Amino acid sequence: MALRELYPPIEPHATGMLDVGDGQQLYWEESGNPDGKPVVFLHGGPGGGTSPNQRQFFDPQAYRIVLFDQRGCGRSLPHVADGADLSVNTTDHLIADIERLQVFLGVERWMVFGGSWGSTLALAYAQRHPGRVTELVLRGIFLLRRSEIDWYYNGGAGQVFPEAWEGFCAPLAAAEPGEHPVDTYHRLLHSHDPRVALDAAVAWSTWEGATSTLLPHPERVAETAESRFALAFARIENHYFHHRGFLDEGQLLRDIDVMQDIPGVIVQGRYDVVCPARSAWDLHRAWPSSRLIVVDDAGHSAHEPGIAHHLLEATDGFR
């Protein structure tokens, strides 16, 4: 079977900055068919921001494609690298921002597409506003349970990527006895010494860049080492994980009943080290109206060939 490729690149036909309060302005854009089926793309991280190729997961003749940068990253203002206030950056704030954007754009209901942290936020949003969601297309499931944080940041994934793990562990020489690596990084990322903070940010960010694909992609690791990206990505992501996503332990499975009528597709890489397949399995078992597709030759990235293929099949299927 020939694998599907992304739709050709397109440019947005509308862009803007939405004031959501708290001194925050969100970059948003629309592309595709202005009269098409609305879909919102929730990017990963948190703190990853959007990129033009994310428009290409959707048929531009069929979909009204909405992308936006979550608080503090991408083209949203203020940027965390410039000192944005993280106290107003929580899961509840992001859910409220999605709702504000939906109202601003005049969308009553839309499909929600998200991977990794985007899957976390998509589930939290759908459980808060189930009547607003027509379908969910999710990839690389992350339920933000303590076991998932421990796997990735406390040694489990390091068994698979020992050389990258060594780089992640280098700043942990500053750890206090018994301190969780996420908490050590929290101190370092907010150090008054800019060099300490930047070194920690690059180590945190490149750990994810190095482990997100089945096969090595040095250019992706280089992108995650860029200082402005790394500072925003690491500080925002670590802020959420330090605070356990501002969710109760197991909350996204506990509250799954409210979204049982929402159809969904889950695409999961078998060898996803960032978000292991157990979480996708647990979500699918708790959400019978979902369809789980495990891609046996893929890791975490949405751009793994098999994952991209099945994401395109899913969005075409919901046209």
pLDDT for the residue numbered 3: 96
Q: Is 116 a catalytic residue?
A: yes
pLDDT for the residue numbered 291: 98
Q: Encode burial over 254-283: b for 16+ CB neighbours within 10 A, e otherwise.
A: ebbeebeebbbbbbbbebbbbbbbbbbebb
Q: Can you tell me the distance from the alpha carbon of 282 to that of 279, in angstroms, rounded to the nearest whole number?
A: 5
Residue from 116, 279, 290, 301 carrying the catalytic annotation: 116
Strand order of the β-sheet with 63-68 is 14-21, 24-32, 63-68, 37-42, 110-116, 133-141, 264-269, 290-295
Q: Per residue in 107-151, pLDDT tens?
A: 999 999 999 999 999 999 999 999 999 999 999 999 999 999 999
Q: Per residue in 81-96, pLDDT tens?
A: 999 999 999 999 999 9
Q: Is 212 a catalytic residue?
A: no
Q: How confident is the model at residue 174 (pLDDT cuts 50, 70, 90)?
A: confident
Retrieve residue 151's tokens.
Answer: 């796997």
Q: Is 272 a catalytic residue?
A: yes
Residue from 69, 205, 272, 279 carrying the catalytic annotation: 272
Task: List the beta bridge partners of residue 66.
Answer: 30, 40
Domains in the chain with CATH codes: 14-147+246-317 (3.40.50.1820), 150-244 (no CATH)
Residue from 43, 79, 186, 300 carrying the catalytic annotation: 300
